[in-house]
Amino acid sequence: MEVLEYEATTDAESDALPAPQGELTLQIPAMPRDTNPDNDIFGGWVVSQMDLAAEITARRVAKGRVTTISIHQLNFLRPIEVGDMVSCYTNVTNIGGSSIHIDVEVWVQPPAEQVPHKVTDGTFVFVAIDANRRTRRIR
């Protein structure tokens, strides 16, 4: 696991910093109720926020009901702490006949830091479904 570290930069250097890819879809503060015994935010809580963000995007693309069918390449880069502002960015990478692939990046802005950093990413796959929960075509 690679941990990304960012050093303080000048305004001229800030353009070279990594930036979120995709559309800001969900933003929520990390709260004490979402911690593990070490006072870091549970990975499962983070995954649920990612799934919510991806579903918002998938519903918009599918123009209706969708369901998660798989999660690929889930990477945890560093822990999230209580008080961090958690932002989920989504980017649609593929639309099939009934499926939608969405890359999700999670970035946090700690209260005392100027520069946000990426903490998690993964690819979520959804299938469009009808009122009977059967797969339906998107296009």
CATH of residue 59's domain is: 3.10.129.10
The answer as to whether 45 is a domain residue is yes
pLDDT of residue 16: 67
Q: Which residue has the tokens 């123009």?
A: 63
Asked if residue 86 belongs to a domain, the reply is yes
Range of the domain at 124: 20-128
Q: Decide: residue 46, CB within 10 A, 0-12 exposed, 13-18 middle, 19+ buried.
A: buried
Residues with pLDDT less than 50, the chain: 1-11, 13-14
Q: Which residue has the tokens 């990413």?
A: 121
Residue 6 lies in a domain: no
Residue 138 lies in a domain: no
Overall pTM > 0.75? yes
Q: Specify the pLDDT at position 85.
A: 95
Q: What is the pLDDT of residue 6?
A: 39
Give a yes or no: residue 133 inside a domain.
no
Residue 3 lies in a domain: no
137 in any annotated domain: no
For the chain, the domain total comes to 1
- pLDDT of amino acid 15: 59
